Every structure is written in structure tokens, then in C-alpha cells.
Amino acid sequence: MQAPPSGKQFHISSDGYCAVIVEIGAGIRRLDLNDRPVLESYREDAICDGAHGAHLVPWPNRVLGGTYQFMGQSYQLPLTEPTAGNAIHGLLRWTPFTVQALTHQSVTLSATLHPTPWYPFALEVCFRHELSASGLTVTSKIINRGLEACPLALGHHPYLSPGTDETIDTAMFSTSAIPFDSAGEAAFPGSPLTEPVLLRHRIVDATFVAQPSAQSNTSWVRLTGADGRTVALWADASYRYLQFFTGDSLAEGRRRRAIAAEPMTAPPNALQSGQDLLVLRPNESIETQWGVQLQ
């Protein structure tokens, strides 16, 4: 039997939640609560499309033209979004990860990002996915295993589901984040995002600035489907930005089936602009958390 395109499938469950985490990219292939989808999935026999459930290292979103400078050196990344001439979503989406720990309700996967001419730095990358009554919690830890400082931004690409056989056109959306640029303001003109707004007719591919609450030090996103259930995503203060994408450019049959709510430590093009870019010294690490649940 041929192996799935996403490699080994790791099934975990707890308190009615079931998730499938995959070997390739350590991605989240599916997350359900009692058969109601929490995150939009892709089939086991399919190649991951639209970065569904992917982890994005060492940058999320895009690097325009794939060029950046660091410590006086210039680099050219592979143009993995060739139609637009950009480098997109990092270097680990198609990398096999190794299991470090596996239980009934959690799995920890790790990989090494080895130096290349376009990113000559060594990273140890680890993702722990754990289920509980509170849903899925993802803990990321990245260590600089090289001999020099390295540039880094981290992101994730879950798609919040409005429910079985639904689209986001009947869903209500709210978030604590505020628009980062004109694209976000155009998508939600005059609407306070802390109050739910209908997503019908809204085409969104925009960056927002996270606004962590004083009580929990986390930012949040909520999507309420026609069934009255709400998918709630939270991210700790390490994630200073959120990217929202309504999937209008995906293949027919996948468009607007869910909204991507992407926690990011830096905005798009951070490798090039340097805005909120992390710099890890040798053996220095960063650890972050985000999670999602069905309410």
C-alpha cells in the first residue's frame, strides 16, 4: 500500500476531540470534536493544499522577490510562489519530522533545518500537539544550533471551519486584533471586530496586529457557524500578528470553506523588512503556544 502524501499519520484524542498530525511538516491534517470539524482538513490521500494546518519556519507569509539581507550578507530564497515571484511560508512544509514522544492525547515531532546557500543557519524545530477538554494546544520550540546568530519568524496556518458542508458566507467572525494595513481596513470597514460580523461577500487576505488581553496575555479569533458552534483560536503574546485569508484563490471546491487565522511572530516580508524579526544567538531558543477549541 502506498504511503499517504503527508507521510505517517499520528492519531490523538481526548475529551471528544480527535486530531491527525502528519509526518510531513508536522502539520495538522484534521481536528474534530465529536465529528464536527474544528479545523478544515484535507484527505489522507491528498497533498496538503493551501498550507492547511502547516507550520511556517523560518518565516510565515511571503518574502517579496525572495531576497533579504542579514548581517551585511545578501541572500536569494527559492521562489516557491513562482506566479508572484515570491518565497512563501518558510522551508519546512515538505520536510519529514521525527517522533520524539507519542501518547494517546499528544505527539511531539522534531526536525533539523540544515544550512543552505539561501538560509545558511541551523535550527532545531519541535512541535508538540496536545488535546484536552480545552481543545488543541500547540507548543513550538526553536533552537539556533549554528555558530552564528540567525534571523527567524514563526507562523502557523490553521483554517477555522464553519461546520460540516458549510461555507464561511453564513459564518460570523470576530477578533481582538486590529488591521495592520489598508487591506485589513478595506475588508472590515467601520466594523469593530470585537463584535461579530458576517463574512458573506468579504474577500480577506490581510494582516492584523494582535491585541493580547491584560488578563490572559493572549489574543483571540472566533468563527461562529450556522450551527451556532464557535471555533475559538488563541495565541500567546509571542504572536504579534494574525493573517486572515478567506481562501478565495484556492481550487474550486475548497474556496471559502474555512477562514485561515494564522498566528505570526512577525508581519509579511519580515526577513526583508526586519520588522519584528527575531534574532537568535547560538543555542538561544524561543518557545511559543497557541491553541484552538470548539465552543
Q: What is the mean pLDDT of residues 63-77?
A: 98
What is d(CA 31, CA 153) in angstroms, rounded to the nearest whole number? Answer: 25
* 74: Cβ contacts below 8 Å, ≥ 6 apart: 67, 68
The secondary structure of residue 170, as a DSSP letter, is: G
Whole-angstrom Cα Rg for the chain:
18
Q: What is the pLDDT of residues 37-49, one digit of tens each?
A: 999 999 999 999 9
What is d(CA 260, CA 177) in angstroms, rounded to the nearest whole number? Answer: 14
Q: Cell match 488563541: residue?
A: 234
Question: How many alpha carbons fall within 13 Å on the CB side of residue 271?
Answer: 30
Q: What is the pLDDT of residues 242-254, one digit of tens each?
A: 999 999 999 998 9
**pTM, two decimal places:** 0.96
pLDDT at residue 190, as a whole number: 77
Give the phi and the psi of residue 183 in degrees, each rounded to 5.
-65, -40
pLDDT confidence of 241, banded at 50, 70, 90?
very high
What is d(CA 160, CA 171) in angstroms, rounded to the nearest whole number? Answer: 11
219 touches 212 (CB < 8 A): yes
User: CA angle at residue 284 from 279 to 287, to 5 degrees?
Assistant: 90
Is the pLDDT confidence value at 161 over 90?
Answer: yes
Q: What is the pLDDT of residues 180-230, one digit of tens each?
A: 988 999 989 877 899 999 999 899 999 999 999 888 899 999 999 999 999
Tell me the domains of the chain and their CATH numbers. Answer: 9-294 (2.70.98.10)
